[in-house]
Amino acid sequence: MAQLPLTAIPPDIVSAADYERYAQHYIEAAAWAYLQGGAADELTLAANCESWSSLKLWPRVLSDVAHGHTRCTLFGDALAHPIILAPVATQRLFHPEGEVASVLAAGVMGGVAVVSTQASFTLEDVATQAHGPLWFQLYWQGGRTETLELIKRAEAAGYRALVFTVDAPVSGVRNREQRAAFSVPSSAAQVNVKTLTLPTLAQGMSAVFDGFMSLAPTWDDIEWLIQQTHLPIILKGVLHPKDAKLAVAVGAAGVVVSNHGGRVLDSALATFDVLAGVVSVVDGAVPVLIDGGIRRGTDIVKALALGASAVMIGRPYIHALATAGALGVAHLIRLLREELEISMALTGCKTLDDINVDVLY
């Protein structure tokens, strides 16, 4: 039985790792396995976290960094820091206030939250509770008409950007604990969308190619969607430089280097390993963001040094949400921002623009 969330932050929580340690006591076992798990043997899940530690920072001393800051601007939003809450589905699995608590914390801390298509509150209700800019994460709804309806709802509710997830037309989530069926309870139901109806398969047809993938979007659909909305569309789930180049060519406003937290294709490259290649081909045309294994302020510095404009965090803020609701998420963001500030100061960087490959060894 999971414990009730805390109403105050224990003094021994001083990092994202501490929140992960605490969170297991506040999340039901099946939901914990769903949150923590990855695809197949979880090789990519492990690589995401391990890869950041392979890169070292090179300290600089006696640098004048007084009055430095972590401010940045992304897609028209002025932010206090480059730490973005990634879209995570069905957050009421982890705390009764779910997405409402997360977006409240992000806004109070001067940042952005990305609300999932699969949220457990309506996108309109979440928007009314926000204290800062919101972006909406979009899954393709099996056709243009249905997808456009969702976009128009996001526009009307005041969302500032669309984060189109392109790497998960077929879900590969399956770890050893999840092989037993896991179903989302009605209290955390995905209320913004209807369940897709898959085509009827004749004997010998493939559930993947003739089923799921027959409803999946293509580059033509992305190009069409960009023409249907005034909101910037950011493609999330780009790993290959050729896909990054195509994203720019069709008019995407940005890309997120992501492998879906290691939850889709096992043995996919860690995001750290491909970031520099994506940044190189994009060549400054649009911002490049990254998620996957970001757990420390030093990880953020490394990501920005390799050319990212900002980072997204996923599981860490869900750990904080489960532990202490909006207070926990806000505290986690503060911890990561303080770690970022310390890392910048000790590598001689006064602003985010000062962070470059010279801080790396």
Q: 310 - beta bridge partners?
A: 289
Binding residue per annotation — 203? no
- Give Cα 151 distance to the centre of its chain: 19
d(C-alpha 171, C-alpha 174), whole Å: 9
- 236 has binding-site annotation: yes
Q: Is 143 annotated as a binding residue?
A: no
Residue 260 annotated in active site: yes
Catalytic-role residue among 81, 95, 260, 319: 260
User: What DSSP letter does each residue of 133-176 carry, written as one string?
Assistant: -EEEEE---SSHHHHHHHHHHHHHHT--EEEEE-S-SS--B--T
Q: Is 232 annotated as a binding residue?
A: no
Residue 137 assigned as binding residue: yes
Contact assessment for residue 173 and residue 264, using Cβ atoms and an 8 Å cutoff: yes
Query: Does 314 carry a binding-site annotation?
Result: yes
3-state class of 233 per DSSP?
strand
Q: Does 34 show up as a binding residue in the annotation?
A: yes
DSSP string, 187-220: GG--TTSPPPPPPPPPTT--IIIIIGGGG---HH
* Residue 245 assigned to a binding site: no
Q: Is 89 annotated as a binding residue?
A: yes
Residue 63 among known ligand-binding residues: no
Separation CA 208–CA 169 (nearest Å): 10
Strand 233-238 and strand 288-290: the pairing is: unpaired
291 is known to lie in a ligand binding site: yes
Dihedral (CA of 277, 279, 282, 288) sign = positive
* Residues with catalytic roles: 260
Residues tagged in the binding site annotation for FMN? 87-89, 116, 137, 165, 236, 258, 291-295, 314-315
**Residues forming the annotated binding site for glyoxylate?**
34, 139, 174, 260, 263
Residues forming the annotated binding site?
34, 87-89, 116, 137, 139, 165, 174, 236, 258, 260, 263, 291-295, 314-315
